[in-house]
Amino acid sequence: MKDFLDASVIVELATVFNRDNNSDKFEVADALVQSGAYTSTHALAEAYATLSGDKRLKINPHDAAEILLNCASKLQTGSLSESDSMALIKNAPSRGITEGSFYDAIHAETDRKMGCSKIHTLNENHLRHVAPDLEIAPL
């Protein structure tokens, strides 16, 4: 079974790493990364936006980029094609996908395209609606 990490898991890794302390969630997430889990370029971009922009995290943008590039080097990374993205947009209204849940739908669709059947996340409720066919694994 292929494991897919959404942006929330990658942010958890980076924030704990930056603060130099461990949590149970960090250890699980780190083990997934070390095992060669999958993610998307979208998840990495979303994680960078959070890490470099959230003032509460106090992470320098250069450090955020370095942490994410290091993490990405250990992951299998994929992205949606243009036609996949257009199909997702076209079908979103009929699936009740609006607002921020669209970004979760990108994670779910990339997970499917990469042949993964499980998404690891800290936002279980966000993914349930857009990925009823996938196993949602709370971190």
**pLDDT tops 70 at residue 17:** no
pLDDT tens digits for 79-114? 999 999 999 999 999 999 999 999 999 999 999 999
- Nearest CA to 78 out of 52, 102, 107 is that of 107
Residue 33 CA, distance from chain mean position: 12
Domains annotated for the chain, with CATH where assigned, are 3-138 (3.40.50.1010)
**pLDDT tops 90 at residue 36:** no
Q: Assign 76 a pLDDT band (cuts: 50, 70, 90).
A: very high
Contact (Cβ atoms closer than 8 angstroms) between residue 107 and residue 6: yes
- Listed in sequence order, the residues at least 6 apart from 101 whose beta carbon sits closer than 8 Å to its beta carbon are 126, 129, 130
Q: Assign 117 a pLDDT band (cuts: 50, 70, 90).
A: confident
Angle between helices 41-53 and 7-19 (to 10 degrees): 40
Average pLDDT score over residue span 8-35: 77
- Listed in sequence order, the residues at least 6 apart from 83 whose beta carbon sits closer than 8 Å to its beta carbon are none
Query: How many angstroms separate the CA atoms of 98 and 61, rounded?
Result: 29
Phi, psi of 123 (to 5 degrees): -120, 60
